[in-house]
Amino acid sequence: MALQTSNGSTSIRITEPLCAVFRRQLKAEGQKYTPERAQVLDAIIALDRIFEAEQVIEELRQRQHRVSKATVYRTINLLQDAGIIQRVLTEGDQAQYQLAYGESPSDTLVRLDTREVVDIDVPELAAIAERVCKDLGLRPQGHKLQIFAVAPNDS
């Protein structure tokens, strides 16, 4: 499960399933919650990690769900618009995303060995960002932190 907190403080409340959120957001835009879109979201939730479009397509294949590549890409963009997933910063060539709904998605810990991603809470970062901007006479517009780590017993 992607949702989790650190240091005991429960900063996340699960109020409703993501599919309900997605349906509501689509309705708000006059768009439809189709079976294909539901299947894409389900596949993404099942992946439960940073994912690329190709992995979603593969997951759908394994589930015997016939969703075209084009629809997967289109749905990924819709999910982004809805704030349910978001692109993560990457060095690679392909876009990567993670579930983001309901959390402050700016700070994550990435396990280089397993590719797992954990959202972390770094309360001091907002202040740091503001301080840095102030020093430079700029207006802060957010930040992204990725901390990289591996299992302690590796090589």
Q: Say how many residues touch a copy of itself, by CB under 8 A.
A: 40
What is the DSSP secondary structure assignment for residue 51, as one 8-state letter? B
What is the DSSP secondary structure assignment for residue 107, as one 8-state letter? E
Q: Is 126 in the site for DNA (CB under 7 A)?
A: no
Tell me how far apart the 2 most distant CA atoms of the chain are, in Å. Answer: 55
Strands 117-119 and 107-111, by their bridges, are antiparallel
52 binds, among DNA, a copy of itself, none (CB under 5 to 8 A by kind): DNA
Least distance from DNA to the Cβ atom of residue 70, Å:
3
CA distances for 115 relative to 4, 22, 36, 51, angstroms? 16, 26, 27, 9
Closer CB to DNA, 10 or 94, in the complex: 94
Stretch that binds a copy of itself, among 12-20, 25-33, 48-56, 107-115 (CB under 8 A): 107-115
What is the DSSP secondary structure assignment for residue 77, as one 8-state letter? H
Q: Is 68 in the site for DNA (CB under 7 A)?
A: yes
36 binds, among a copy of itself, DNA, none (CB under 5 to 8 A by kind): DNA
Q: Is 32 in the site for a copy of itself (CB under 8 A)?
A: no
Q: Which two tokens stand for residue 130?
A: 């503001």
66 binds, among DNA, a copy of itself, none (CB under 5 to 8 A by kind): DNA
